[in-house]
Amino acid sequence: MTKRNIMYRLLVCCSMLLVCCGCRKTEKGPKSRQQERMAEYVVQHSITPQNARSQEVIARKTPTLQREFSNASLTLGSPIFLRIFKESRELELWVEQNKKFVLFKTYPIAYFSGSLGPKLREGDEQAPEGFYYVSPSRLNPNSKFHLSFNIGYPNLYDQSHQRTGSAIMVHGNTVSIGCFAMTDPLIEEIYTIADHALNAGQRFFRVHVFPFRMLDEKLAQHVQSPHLAFWKNLQEGYSFFEQTRRPPNAIVEHNLYVFEADKEGI
């Protein structure tokens, strides 16, 4: 655990003790206490973009999430990893524990547009498939869909195949064109967890998007699909994580994904 991780967790614990125990000498009304709590989170969450909405959400969601993480023997602020499965409409959130990633929770996806298969061009209303990542600047507290984060489509693989499009998000609400809508309550939880991880020192978190669980028997059901070769390439990255419980670093060579152990340990 880095010194930054330790300091971040101490700050969070101390601020929550102040909030929960009411360690102020002067009695203050509910509104003042809420403003104090939000101010504390602004200081601790300076790496990611913030506005009044995100500050309120993070302050409100953090105590419950801390309890849930503790009950699962996890630490809020540890590195995270997301997997999305389009066919089953699921988003998995994994958390690092002892150098491996363990599944914290599976969230239902309220809606995404299009069908199984990659996004090919701007305006095709397809949600993408592939290997993406989210850096702090890609969190968007000003989203028209409550809160969101940009997964980074098109990546280098997409660009090498002349795929076009932009602003592919995981966001709130229940409607979407090309993105993944999670509902407002669920995006608040996912966003808060991501915000803690990035502010605790994770440089970015990975988001892997698959058409379905990339098992041999599932691929056998799609032998006639024009996307079969692409999906077999995705299966390599899927299998890497299944075997190691660490998300691989995906690079592009000769217009194909190639997978290697993540040198940065994310």
**Residue 265 in domain:** no
Residues 65 and 98 in one domain: no
Q: What does DSSP say about strands 205-210 and 80-85: parallel, antiparallel, or unpaired?
A: parallel
Q: For 28, phi and psi rounded to 5 degrees?
A: -135, 150
Per-residue pLDDT of the chain (266 residues; tens, 9 = 90+): 555 555 555 555 544 444 444 434 444 455 555 555 555 555 567 899 999 999 999 999 999 999 999 999 999 999 999 999 999 999 999 999 999 999 999 999 999 999 999 999 999 999 999 999 999 999 999 999 999 999 999 999 999 999 999 999 999 999 999 999 999 999 999 999 999 999 999 999 999 999 999 999 999 999 999 999 999 999 999 999 999 999 999 999 999 999 999 876 55
The yes-or-no answer on residue 179 being catalytic is yes
Query: Which one-letter DSSP state was computed for residue 16?
Result: H
Q: Are residues 126 and 148 in the same domain?
A: yes
Which residue bears the tokens 């028209």? 144
| pLDDT for the residue numbered 20 | 44
With respect to residue 88, please indicate whether it lies within any of the assigned structural domains.
yes
Q: Is residue 266 part of a domain?
A: no
Q: Check whether residue 56 and residue 84 sit in a common domain.
A: no
b/e per residue 2-28 (b: at least 16 CB within 10 A): eeebeebbebbeebbeebeeeeeeeee
Half-sphere exposure of 170 (CA within 13 A, CB side): 33
pTM: 0.85
Contact 59, 41 (CB under 8 A): yes
Give the containing element (helix H, strand E) for 80.
strand 80-85
Q: 213 Cβ partners below 8 Å, 6+ apart?
A: 85, 88, 238
Statement to judge: residues 128 and 187 lie in one domain: yes
Please check whether residues 193 and 165 belong to one and the same domain: yes
3-state secondary structure of 59: helix
Q: Which CATH number characterizes residue 256's domain? A: 2.40.440.10
Catalytic, out of 45, 146, 179, 208: 179
pLDDT attached to residue 46:
83
Q: Which one of 38, 54, 71 terminates a domain?
A: 71
Same domain, yes or no: 55 and 92 = no
Residue from 45, 146, 171, 208 carrying the catalytic annotation: 171
Q: Write down the pLDDT at residue 184.
A: 98
Cα–Cα nearest to 82, from 176, 243, 211, 193: 193
Name the residue type at position 193.
Answer: I
Is 85 inside a domain boundary? Answer: yes
Looking at 71, 101, 118, the residue that finishes a domain is 71
Q: How many domains does the chain have?
A: 2
- CA-closest candidate to residue 227, choices 111, 92, 86: 86
Residue 131: strand, helix, or coil: strand
Tokens of 13: 């614990």
Q: Rounded distance, CA 52 to CA 105, Å?
A: 27
Q: Which domain holds residue 101?
A: 80-260
The pLDDT assigned to 36 comes to: 58
Task: Say what the pLDDT of residue 227 is.
Answer: 97
Q: How many CB atoms lie within 10 A of CB 175?
A: 11
Cα 252 from chain centroid? 22
Has residue 95 been placed in a domain?
yes
With contact defined as beta carbons under 8 Å apart, do 161 and 71 qualify? Answer: no
Q: Indicate whether 105 and 211 sit together in one domain.
A: yes
**Amino acid 40: pLDDT:** 56
Mark whether 20 is an active-site residue. Answer: no
77 close to 2: Cβ distance less than 8 angstroms: no
The predicted structure's pLDDT at residue 246:
97
Say if 216 falls within a structural domain. Answer: yes
